[in-house]
Chain A
Amino acid sequence: MSAPVAIVEARGVGKVYPMPAGPVEALRDVSLTVAPGEYVAISGPSGCGKSTLLHLLGCVDTPTAGSLLFEGHPVRAMGEEERSRIRLRRIGFVFQRFYLLPMLTAWENVELVQSEAGMPAAERRARTRELLEYVGLGERAGHRPSQLSGGEMQRVAIARALANRPGLLLADEPTGELDDETGEQIGDLFDRVNADGTALVIVTHNPALAARARRRLAMRSGRLAAPSVVAGS
């Protein structure tokens, strides 16, 4: 029996930014495999390379060294278009600053990514209703981001990230703009998302949020601290 294909696998990846004052080595020799349904938290001091790693895992950027496989396919061989398609259909992103579109309602924000993926209207409607209820905002569908609290906006953003049923949800400091109590609610929601089968990789400073992950990684100066802490195994 062959092992299930990892969602994303980094093999000795590095990322160097050429800067006028000399190259910045943001990541060095990072290897990480995220299996379907996993729950990973990455923590570490500012500037240690967490966001850079997350962007590589999310096919937003490409490594300057090593290799990266997304669902078994080498990312390096993909063009910008193909990576864009993978991001749309297979990956969900949650940002510290939510980045909901301010002129659209919660409903429209969640629906937009589905229509971009070409989902039929009837299916979109059903999925959007289901998702808004899932994140507890069924009643707020017609509200714009400016009419929502920070925690509510992040819940809409999570609904949006899940809209096309991705196998992997990536979050960069998802509670960075929220108070502890609201952060707890977001943490509960992530737990539920993971329990429902979506793999999660969360970059966070928030120890309470990191503690929820089954696998907690520490980063320092562009390297993953070994060995990884694996909870419950």
Chain B
Amino acid sequence: MDIENIPQTLPRQSATFDAYTLSEIRRAAATGIYDIRGAGAKRKLPHFDDLLFLGASVSRYPLEGYREKCATDVVLGTRFAKKPIHLKIPVTIAGMSFGSLSAQAKEALGRGASAAGTSTTTGDGGMTPEERGQSQTLVYQYLPSRYGMNPDDLRKADAIEVVIGQGAKPGGGGMLLGQKISDRVAQMRNLPKGIDQRSACRHPDWTGPDDLEIKIEELREITDWEKPIYVKVGATRPYYDVALAVKAGADVVVLDGMQGGTAATQEVFIEHVGIPTLAAIRPAVQALQDLGMHRKVQLIVSGGIRNGADVAKALALGADAVAIGTAALVALGDNDPALEEEYRKLGTTAGAYDDWQEGLDPAGITTQDPILSARLDPVAAGRRLANYLAVLTLEAQTIARACGKSHLHNLEPEDLVALTIESAAMARVPLAGTSWIPGMTGNF
């Protein structure tokens, strides 16, 4: 044998121990602390991209794109609230805390949402005057930590959202690391400056659906039954959680899938707990239908909504509206390639920057640093968000008209097919070109 000339195999990287996994093992070995980051699940998951609309043809006819109306408005909180919320578009801005976001970013979200005729939402840490002032319709989150929670703000809100969980971390509490606790954040939360703030994972004065019902009654009594009360859950067991939220008296259920963003959570939690948005919608809608409450208790879906097609698909599967977090931040200017040089200095690259907990965001969005946050012009950023919301709406309308619908809410599962068996099973629509809904009907 010619030892010199034995052909060599190519160096082979392991699919199991891939480069990212190896880097995480080394990081863990060096620090002894789990990895914390912002944003949602980054792994590839069955998602709205796996669905397609059928569009109209001979058997159904479309609406004329530029002439015939396709309405987009939505009313939330019709079940019990004296003053339901009427939004022009079915895309809302999700709850993101002041603390995790700069005051400028919160103001920009309010401005953009108001210009587009939709609502924005407070977050862990309470309501700031900037966001109340700039938000035509503001939803006030009621969270386990109750940071900054006070009845004056509750009464100023247009709706109240009882947060039980988030898609990025169902069953988890929150974390705001000391770097982001400025004087103002510390004062609003009634804690010393510079310490790591943990937010509890359970509410301090109730546990379980029977107590939740009483808690909701209390909130209604305090606000004289005026305001819609939402209940937000992370997607895990959506059928039961939605049914129990309805039983507890919710006007609106917010369902957040595992792709949903977070300000800061353990990586292992973000990637391994909860189910994808796509898998959560049908069981949630089923629960509403089984209780005779579909469209009476409204369903808001979030987690990975990026474009008008996603909006239209979520609505077709039975949601009344969607909420966006990550995409709204990107519209404001988050992860902009124009800042690449600065992302490099932070050891990352535009598009991948997710160490929001560190408070060093060069875009001035996920930071409390006065110099960095001053970089974000709330007026210009708000304009970008309003533009983006307009595009989401126009895109969803384009699809709805093609399916012959005069209102986005007339989209239905029958307008959809799936590209993969997984997504067909999860969305309960047939695999494209077949009548097969795995686990339900038809033949392959």
Task: Tell whether A and B belong to one assembly.
Answer: no
* Interface of A toward B, CB cutoff 8 Å: none
